Structure 1
Amino acid sequence: MRSATAAPQAATALSRHRAAVAAAFAVQGLLFISLTTRLPRFQRIWDLSELFVSGLLLMVVLLAGAGSALAELAATRMGSASTLRAGFALQAVGLGAVAVAPQRAVFVAGLAVYGLGLGIVDAASNMQAVAVEHRYGRTILPSFHGAWTAGGIVATVVTIAVTRLGLVAGLLPLCVLALGLLAAPLLPAGADTPVAPDVAALDVPWRKIALLGAAMVLFYMVDTAATTWGPVFLKSVHQAPDWLLPLATLPYLVASLATRLAGDAAVARLGAVALVRVGALVACAALAVIVFSPSWPVAVLGFTVLGGSVAVIAPLSFSAAAVVAGGGLDPEARRARVDAVIARFNQFNYVGGLLGAVLTGVVGADSLRPGFAVPMVLILAILPLAGAFRAEPATRHTPS
């Protein structure tokens, strides 16, 4: 009798964990896009040049990288669930400081705290996601990243709707939402009885993971350029009105969401390698449309196609890296090693962020057209890297 009820209970618990992790991704996307879509507003309020904004973005990216490294240490001691909750608490504090900042120094300090929390949440949420995916025994990472995109879409729509409201009214409710994640039923640390590994001593195939990481760098280079500099591009290049500026981000995110929601089935049907290669070629063409756009509607079209072309690269990178890192291990050792490797793998995210946010801004200091030409060329480097996505599916693990 007990065995007859154990399986449905385990399936119900797994569904709750999956929903909680998806919610974490959604709130992360909501917070991040809520900030980036307000960049032109921050520039105006604090009288920031594009080079100064590039410096702020560099600070956030570097602190996010430090946060990701902290997440690895924290996850081995208290599990990825508690680490994720700590990251959201930091983000809430940082975002609150940004919203109520009475002077530029407080604004910068708030961004710094937010950046640290950003890295912790990025790493820990992906640790949770790959652990849940392992239990399902099939690729579901694109749907988690789709939840991030859905949160970004909500953020963009809300930003448009509250354009005339102050930063306090627009951002403080998001702090409450982030704190609400502290009660989410995340996958507990003891689910696999993980043991803290010495990752450096493990026989991890770092070369293949590095190839996957290089592809993720290229994706985040494009993604960060689009979400961070897209609104500024419409303003500085095409003089679009303020209420239209989020349109650089909204269609991009909508197209990304559609691609990610279809990603699980597309991988099963076409394979990850083909999806990655086609996505890189289409992304190059979309960026060319943006660079040479004669008007803002054409630029928005380019951003839309761009979002639909590359959206599955990041989740497939994490999924493939988890398969490579966890191969041949029993369940007790697998999650600990995968958590540690994913935390390090997540660092590639911020290298891409540096290229997309900082390099695009520096090269595009006089005009963002050449700034967006940088990812237009570099994204083609994914073509020879696509073979690294050829990985075996995760082995199904049924919770006892």
Structure 2
Amino acid sequence: MTPPLPPSSLVRSRLAAGTAFFVQGLLFISLTTRLPQVQQKWSLDELAVSGLLLMVVLLAGGGSVVAELVAGRSSSAVVVRLGLVAATAGFAVLLVAPTFGVFVAGLAVYGLALGLVDASSNMQAVTVEHLYGRPILPSFHGFWTAGGILGTLVTLATADVELGPALLPLLVVPVAALAAPYVRRDRLAAPGADVAVPWRRIALLGLAMVLFYMVDTAATTWGPVYLDGTLDAPTGLTALATLPYLVATLLARAVGDRLVDRHGPVWLLRISGVVASLALAVIVFAPSWVVAVVGFTVLGGAVATIAPLSFSAAGALAGGDDASAGERIDTVDAVIARFNQFNYVGALLGAVLTGAVGADDLRLGFAVPMVLVLGIVPLATQFAIIRRRVPGGTVPDLTG
């Protein structure tokens, strides 16, 4: 019989998966907060920058597909490390690029890595959650937010540092993360095992993911522009649309596990949808930039648990709630990789729809997610699959 996983190893596996999320948030926000420097260095207009972002999103979607294929033949631990290596290489290339063509190539590699790490880190998180036997996905996404906050602070602290080799020390973090004890798994699934997956219900959960990333991308992409162009915030303070949003998101995710345990996901998500809509209303009708910042802060706390609970519910529907979850882990990994695609659909909607509707007035742009986010309220019932679970029997040692 495979020996049970010691509690200390379980904690290390949880921290390892959290490390992958942290690195992802650190690199992604470090890049997006330096887009003005990218624009200046390569003399790009807004349309060109939008095209680069579109390329990154599309390649990330491709990376998520690759993650499913590789994880099916090995494990998500292999995919995480592959993604971290690719992210480090791509980021290094775009930092030291001597020509614009080389910069685009580095950005393309990073985009592919983004999808690899996105999908595999969530596979890791779902597996660890099943080993714990209770909902803990919000805390994993909290690691991503913590990385994003650090990335924002680093950008603010090095605002005078040009985009280039001077920023290479940032890549020590993803290189160090390669040594983390990610969860592995033996090939426990029977060859040719056919596990029924309720794709219709998973699609409804995916719709909730789309709504979250639509709001999240709108806030982080257009928030600073809204404070600057519409509400005349002082120069240098437009980042306050993003930083308080991320801090509130981190705090909400830190307590999210306990809130789900105590009140259940349905109650929490219904509250989230209503409060998020009200927060966006504050943003839309804000008479000053200070009031808008309050709205962004409340918004970050309101929507924080939607994405992690979506992954948790998708993993449960894929069969991870069963006592024999190890026998279905291939299916769970495949479902999580495909489910991750909803991330990029929402990101495109948040960036494109908000910008298109708000081309003349961003108040109208933010009115779109203000209305659509209420869709979380009826979708909340789909999350009833998440419950406080008690693991049965021994837990196989999956670390390595």
Partner AA of 1:104 in structure 2: F
The equivalent residue for 2:9 is 13
Is structure 2 residue 237 aligned with structure 1 residue 248?
no
The change in CA–CA distance for 1:266 and 1:366 in structure 2 (over 3 A counts) is same
Aligned partners of 2:96 and 2:165 also within 8 Å: no
The CA distance in 2 between the partners of 1:367 and 1:114, in whole Å, is 33
> Secondary structure, in 3 states, of the residue corresponding to 2:154?
helix
> Secondary structure, in 3 states, of the residue corresponding to 1:264?
helix
**Shift of the alpha carbon at 1:275?**
1.0
Is structure 2 residue 306 aligned with structure 1 residue 310?
no
Normalised by the size of structure 1, how large is the TM-score? 0.91
Higher helix share: 1
**Shift of the alpha carbon at 1:277?**
1.2
**Shift of the alpha carbon at 1:100?**
2.4
> Secondary structure, in 3 states, of the residue corresponding to 1:102?
coil
The equivalent residue for 1:334 is 328
The change in CA–CA distance for 1:111 and 1:148 in structure 2 (over 3 A counts) is same
**Shift of the alpha carbon at 1:361?**
2.8
The equivalent residue for 1:259 is 252
Aligned partners of 2:33 and 2:152 also within 8 Å: yes
Normalised by the size of structure 2, how large is the TM-score? 0.91
**Shift of the alpha carbon at 1:288?**
2.1
The CA distance in 1 between the partners of 2:213 and 2:250, in whole Å, is 16
State percent identity of aligned pairs: 61
**Shift of the alpha carbon at 1:122?**
0.5
**Shift of the alpha carbon at 1:203?**
1.2
Partner AA of 2:354 in structure 1: T
The CA distance in 2 between the partners of 1:172 and 1:197, in whole Å, is 46
> Secondary structure, in 3 states, of the residue corresponding to 1:219?
helix
The change in CA–CA distance for 1:38 and 1:78 in structure 2 (over 3 A counts) is same
The CA distance in 1 between the partners of 2:95 and 2:137, in whole Å, is 32
> Secondary structure, in 3 states, of the residue corresponding to 1:203?
coil
> Secondary structure, in 3 states, of the residue corresponding to 1:396?
coil
The change in CA–CA distance for 1:313 and 1:206 in structure 2 (over 3 A counts) is same
The CA distance in 2 between the partners of 1:147 and 1:203, in whole Å, is 32
1:30-45 matched pairs, under 5 angstroms:
30-45=26-41
The equivalent residue for 2:117 is 121
The CA distance in 1 between the partners of 2:273 and 2:51, in whole Å, is 28
**Shift of the alpha carbon at 1:196?**
7.2
Aligned partners of 2:198 and 2:317 also within 8 Å: yes
The alignment yields a C-alpha RMSD, in angstroms, of 2.3
The CA distance in 2 between the partners of 1:368 and 1:101, in whole Å, is 34
Deviations 1:28-66 (A, max 9, x none): 111111112222333333343333333222221111111
Partner AA of 1:348 in structure 2: F
Deviations 1:316-357 (A, max 9, x none): 111111111115472332211111111111111111111112
2:86 to 73, 84, 90: 90
Partner AA of 1:396 in structure 2: P
Aligned partners of 1:51 and 1:362 also within 8 Å: no
Aligned partners of 1:197 and 1:336 also within 8 Å: no
**Shift of the alpha carbon at 1:241?**
4.8
Is structure 2 residue 182 aligned with structure 1 residue 180?
no
Is structure 2 residue 208 aligned with structure 1 residue 215?
yes
The change in CA–CA distance for 1:113 and 1:285 in structure 2 (over 3 A counts) is same
The CA distance in 1 between the partners of 2:347 and 2:191, in whole Å, is 29
The CA distance in 2 between the partners of 1:183 and 1:16, in whole Å, is 12
Partner AA of 1:203 in structure 2: A
> Secondary structure, in 3 states, of the residue corresponding to 1:243?
coil
Deviations 1:82-139 (A, max 9, x none): 1011111111122222222334333333222211111110100000001001010001
Is structure 2 residue 18 aligned with structure 1 residue 22?
yes
2:138 to 142, 153, 158: 142
The CA distance in 2 between the partners of 1:194 and 1:21, in whole Å, is 23
**Shift of the alpha carbon at 1:207?**
1.1
The CA distance in 1 between the partners of 2:349 and 2:343, in whole Å, is 10
1:96-107 matched pairs, under 5 angstroms:
96-107=92-103
**Shift of the alpha carbon at 1:296?**
2.4
The equivalent residue for 2:391 is 396
Aligned partners of 2:323 and 2:391 also within 8 Å: no
Partner AA of 1:277 in structure 2: R
**Shift of the alpha carbon at 1:239?**
4.3
> Secondary structure, in 3 states, of the residue corresponding to 1:189?
coil
Partner AA of 2:391 in structure 1: R
The CA distance in 1 between the partners of 2:221 and 2:130, in whole Å, is 33
The CA distance in 2 between the partners of 1:49 and 1:230, in whole Å, is 19
Which moved further from structure 2: 370-379 or 358-367? 358-367
The equivalent residue for 1:157 is 153
> Secondary structure, in 3 states, of the residue corresponding to 2:182?
coil
Partner AA of 2:104 in structure 1: V
1:193 to 172, 188, 194: 188
The CA distance in 1 between the partners of 2:13 and 2:348, in whole Å, is 32
The change in CA–CA distance for 1:317 and 1:292 in structure 2 (over 3 A counts) is same
Task: List runs of 5+ in structure 1 lacking aligned partners.
Answer: none
The CA distance in 2 between the partners of 1:197 and 1:224, in whole Å, is 40
The CA distance in 1 between the partners of 2:293 and 2:40, in whole Å, is 23
Q: How many residues get paired?
A: 393
The CA distance in 1 between the partners of 2:367 and 2:104, in whole Å, is 29
> Secondary structure, in 3 states, of the residue corresponding to 1:138?
coil
Partner AA of 2:356 in structure 1: V
Aligned partners of 1:92 and 1:175 also within 8 Å: yes
1:277-292 matched pairs, under 5 angstroms:
277-292=270-285
The CA distance in 1 between the partners of 2:195 and 2:244, in whole Å, is 43
The equivalent residue for 2:56 is 60
1:79 to 72, 75, 81: 75
